[in-house]
Amino acid sequence: MPTLSKMTCVEDFRRLAERRVPRMFYDYADSGSWTESTYRSNETDFHKLKFRQRVACDIEKRSLHSKMIGIDVSMPVALAPTGLTGMQHADGEILAAKAAEKFGIPFTLSTMSVCSIEDIAAHTSRPFWFQLYVMRDRDFMERLIDRAKAARCSALVLTLDLQVLGQRHKDIKNGLSTPPKPTLINLINLATKPRWCLNMLGTKRRSFGNIVGHAKGVSDLSSLSSWTAEQFDPSLCWEDIEWIKNRWGGKLILKGVMDAEDARLAVDSGADALIVSNHGGRQLDGAPSSISALPAIAQAAGNDIEVWMDGGIRSGQDVLKAVALGAKGTMIGRAFLYALGAMGEEGVTRCLQLMANELDVTMAFCGRTDIADVDRSILLNGNIFD
């Protein structure tokens, strides 16, 4: 039986989650679109970056503390918005939010979450962030924004790269739905996941908590793809961001920027931060990895907006590489999902501890003591993506 003390890296959690989480939900987290080339390069491109190891430096006192949009964080990491988190583990969004709060980093709730905005607010004491999609039903969007305000969310994360849905072959083949449809193949798979089933029996949260009972005419919603096809708005343009910013009135973060020209448009929009992100390789297959796109976007944005990145981060070393290439913050999705599916809240806490330790020790080997002083000079080949 695996124990927390024997979980030494994110890959340990991934292997355990693959055994414990039903196939359709594990595949939802651990897959990309089309050939999955971008999904794979998100991770492998980090391996191309090498550190400069320094010696005989005074590294006794070290600090990972930073700020993301003015918020103190214990390390420059936030939990990314991930759909169906509550299907990786019962009440998954609540558990992940509690782990993030205790660790001192932000948690971001997805519009397509299983637990609702109100659920997270009821189970946490610090403000969290809410992620929003642009939908055809503007009245519903306004109500979502107002609900986030009422829940004291301290930032709105607006996703820009899901106007249409990328073709995700595994989700199609698995017939992804929540809860799972009682087909023979699903029932057979669920029979091999007794821990997951037992936990699910203990909660009533099994559908899209932010949508069911809130969107007009929606009393039941099982398919993510059908809702996306009907409601996500392909006419989204930069003018819509001004409307959202005015309606929200608080900190605004734009997620899904992969081009330097779009980075300047993000600056012009008045947003507080942008996230270099290709949606974890789940949208445009054949797009570059997030880490390879980061340097040009950071240069284009300059100091006019905070630049963060997500995609492919599996360790604290990856976080350090992103910071070295210009990211003021990072977001992790799959890394915490694996830990959540494997071991619930304790798994997420352990995952964050491991990443913080990896970040701290690697920074020390590079001769730095404060994350704020990390730059491209810690990399042996810092201009590899230029």
Q: Could you give the CA distance from residue 91 to residue 352 in angstroms, rounded to a whole number?
A: 19
Q: Is 287 exposed, middle or buried (0-12, 13-18, 19+ CB in 10 A)?
A: buried
Q: Could you give the CA distance from residue 4 to residue 160 in angstroms, rounded to a whole number?
A: 37
Count of H-run helices and E-run strands, the chain: 16, 10
Query: Which tokens hold the place of 255?
Result: 């997620």
Q: Could you give the CA distance from residue 296 to residue 303 in angstroms, rounded to a whole number?
A: 13
Residue the block writes with tokens 């023979």: 184
Q: Could you give the CA distance from residue 286 to residue 258 in angstroms, rounded to a whole number?
A: 12
The string over 36-52, giving b where at least 16 C-beta atoms fall within 10 Å of a residue's C-beta and e elsewhere, is bebbebbbebbeebebe
Q: Kind of pairing, strands 306-310 and 273-276?
A: parallel
Query: Which tokens hold the place of 374?
Result: 């990390």
Sign of CA dihedral 245, 247, 249, 253: negative
332-335: long-range contacts, CB 8 A cutoff, minimum separation 24: 332/77, 332/78, 332/79, 332/80, 333/29, 333/79, 333/80, 333/81, 333/82, 333/280, 334/14, 334/29, 334/30, 334/280, 335/10, 335/13
The residues, any chain, with a CB within 8 Å of residue 73's CB and separated by 6 or more, are 65, 66, 67, 104, 105, 106, 329
- CB atoms closer than 10 angstroms to residue 286: 12
Tell me how far CA of residue 67 lies from CA of 70, 208, 327, 367, in angstroms: 5, 32, 12, 22
Q: Could you give the CA distance from residue 356 to residue 316 in angstroms, rounded to a whole number?
A: 6
The amino acid that residue 164 corresponds to is V
Catalytic residue selected from 47, 65, 214, 279: 279
Q: Please confirm, yes or no, whether 279 is among the known catalytic residues.
A: yes
Query: Which residues participate in catalysis according to the annotation?
Result: 279
